Structure 1
Amino acid sequence: MKDVDVALEELNTESDRGMMLLIATQLEDALAHYITLKLPGMTKSEHEGFLGPEGPAGAFGVKIKLALGMGILNRRAYDALEIVRHIRNAGAHSIRPVTFDTPIIREAVISVASPDLADQMQSANAEVIRLIFRMACLTILDSFAQLGGPGGHFKMIAALTSSAENLDEGD
């Protein structure tokens, strides 16, 4: 649980842009994990070549579409991940400051969280929007866990943190 605490604390101390990038990366890594579970005939190396940055399914958008087609995602999760991907891209590629106070980011976060509550969330401050983004993304991770994987966002974050540590050690 210590790895989970560290991962969650890192999110708390990140800038808005950093949080957008880190959470989207965690979601992309989790999605890749579930895609590999549906491709049992491939070796670890083949999975990495297929889903890695230079592979045919290396882009986050391609992984999202592939997961929908494979039945890993339902339409709601697909739509939510597409919005998270756009938020991530705005944070990664904009030369202007991007925060949870940026109007288009605010609207996107609200639509991921609950389109039905959009009117009530319009007056929320940036910290609340940031929290809504984090909770919406953790809900998406939980929906992945319902597919029979590691189970829950805390276990998924721990698994991803462990995988990152193994990469650092040269595995």
Structure 2
Amino acid sequence: MPTPGEVDDYFVQIKAMSDREAVLAQSAFLDTFLEQALSWCMVTAPSDNRDRIFRDPGSPLGSFSARILLAEALGVVSPAMRAQLDVIRRIRNVFAHTVRPLDFENRTLAEEAAKLDPGSMTRPGFVYQTGVEITSRTRFNDTSTFVIRHVIEFIGARHKGAVDGSWPVVAAYQSTYA
């Protein structure tokens, strides 16, 4: 898992990346936190079986799609958040599996990004940008960042060590981005 400093560095670096780099990085970061959240939902610690569960060819949770589905089934994310994750996953797949240059100006990617609703991923009482045109890139970054935040908070609430500060990423993230 990343350290608090790595989390901070990550959010700074994202802004300087190309659309492809940002989408792949955001998706990988989100996937990492989903894996961690799912691990903490398991009855037995998956440390000895982590590769067999999450990474080996044919592993049951080896894909972003499988992790998203299980995250919804276990209550890590809501059905609405799972729908947003599916859009993030589809955008990620286009960038990851296309060799030609791409950015959010691409019609297909812009149409997918238009399905993202970052405002629906915020905390109650938080007012997302209003009266401002939001670019596809901003829509993607903000939605994925809000989902990452939610998953980190889920981890904090679920894992006693994270709540009492023994897992510093959660405490640092909550204090920095609250």
TM-score range, shorter chain: 0.7 to 0.9
Aligned length: 150
Q: After superposition, give the CA deviation of every residue in 1:46-100 in whole Å (9 maximum; x if it has no partner).
A: 1332011422211110111111122222111110111111111100101222211
Specify which of 82, 94, 99 is matched with residue 98 of structure 2. 94
Q: Does 1:142 align with 2:146?
A: no
Q: Determine if the alignment matches structure 1 residue 111 to structure 2 residue 91.
A: no
Equivalents in 1 of 2:22, 2:143: separation in Å? 13
1:8 Cα deviation from its structure 2 partner: 1.7
Aligned to 2:68: 64
1:51–1:57 CA contact under 8 A, matched in 2:
yes
Structure 2: stretches of 5+ with no match in the other structure? 121-130, 157-161, 164-168, 174-178
CA pair 25-53 structure 1, distance change in 2 beyond 3 A: farther
Cα distance in 1, alignment partners of residues 149 and 42 from structure 2: 21
Aligned to 1:167: none
Identity level (%)? 20
What's the TM-score once normalised by structure 2's chain length?
Answer: 0.72
1:53–1:59 contact (8 Å) kept in structure 2: no
Do the aligned residues in 2 keep the contact of 1:68 with 1:75 (CA within 8 Å)?
Answer: yes
CA distance in 1, matches of 2:119, 2:9: 31
Letter in 2 for 1:19: A
Partner Cα separation in structure 1 for residue 112 and residue 83 of structure 2: 11
Match of 2:14 in 1: 11
- Measured on the aligned residues, the alpha-carbon RMSD in Å equals 2.8
Indicate the residue corresponding to 1:40 in structure 2: 43
Stretches of structure 1 that go unaligned for 5 or more consecutive residues are: 160-171
Contact 1:52 1:58 in 2 (8 A): yes
Runs (4 or more) in structure 1 with deviation over 6 Å come to none
